[in-house]
Chains A and B, each alone.
Chain A
Amino acid sequence: MSAILLLARYFSASVRGQMQYPGSAITLGIAQFFATIIDILAAWALFDRFGPVQGWTFGDIALFFGMVSVSFAIADFLSRGFDVFGTEFVRTGNFDRVLLRPRSAALQLIGHEFRLSRIGRLAQGIVVIALSTAALSLEWPPEHVVLAAWTIAGGVALFMGLMVLQATLAFWTVESLEVMNLLTYGGVQAAQFPLSIYAGWFRNFLIFVVPIGCVAYFPVLVLLGKSDPLGAPAWLLPLTPAAGFVFFGAALLAWRFGVAKYTSTGS
């Protein structure tokens, strides 16, 4: 419980810090909105020139993309500390200070900074979901809303797991690596299109190794009222976001291993 209270205080402190430069926060938010919405622009241009692909239309792609964007926006909001872990904590030695406080390091890193500009991506995701709803005349009955929330929760867990893994890598390489960006930003990009478009081994990677497919593709099929062209059973589809939570748990284990390594070899 005191962890939640502490996070609330961290949040308030972070917001106050950013409010000292309100112009900057707003500009960055707007910039992020545009930076993230251009991907859907590319999809639109491609559908405009080529027409439907394998039975998928622009509206379908928009829903895949909007959902995963919302998931990532929330995860990004919560994991800045892990994102900059290498440069701001390991390289500077500031991680020592984290260890000198009587709280779990992970909790302190979540509380490190809550960037308000991430609202840009969140807004973009919502706009794109709206675009999809309009393009496909989608209906949103309560069970779909619940499924969407559950899907997004699984997505948040997955992406946060990736950020935790990125931070863990920094114990060995010091500088924050682009490898994880590959999986987070790249994952968001890959999730834009239905898995059936990708080659087999890549599809399997996105299902079993970094289960983005489980938090972006399978459950959204249900929302679209479509079945999986690859034959995944219909009852399984709504359950797959659980994979995100499993991934997050594994990432935390790796993190603890990294912290143990840090305390035995120093900085």
Chain B
Amino acid sequence: MIAAALAVGCERSPRGGAWSFEHGVGVAIVDRELACLSIAAELAPDSRVRVVSTMPPQDVFEARTVSVEASCVRSVDDGAAQRGYRLRFDSASPPEDVPMIAVVDPPAPFNVRDGIVTADLDGDRHDELFRSCTSSEGVHLTIWSGAALTGQRRWHAYRYLAYDVVANCTPQETAAAPAGRQP
């Protein structure tokens, strides 16, 4: 667990190119048996991952990829475009059964202040913020630049829960991405 600021050096993406939300961000979830990452990118073993728990108070957990794990991809969430990896957490483990935002080889340090995680992932001097909300039976995970909900949405993912929940999402958090744009 990271209580204060966590300095992470700038790195190239695991694909060898510039870091991007599309290939640098995925979804992590931990249950009693397995810690999983699903993401579009093909990752090397031992890739560094920062897992953001958006349950209040927000926090960041350090992990690494261990191996390819096909069961970490669920067709109900991801279709065929994602890859699954088993994760190993370096120290403290995050809460179980909570979909979380996973940033691979993050290009910027993460900060945790007053229960809010921020990081300038795209290097534009505007912090990204991390959110989650529930729709009728799933969790929407989002990353925003500048300000949550009113800033630019940079990334979005949905995780099906398979039970009905009390919904608290805003339309901005659940809207589909325009064709050809980053979700």
Answer yes or no: are A and B bound together in one complex: no
**A interface residues with partner B (beta carbon < 8 Å):** none
Which positions in B face A, CB cutoff 8 Å?
A: none
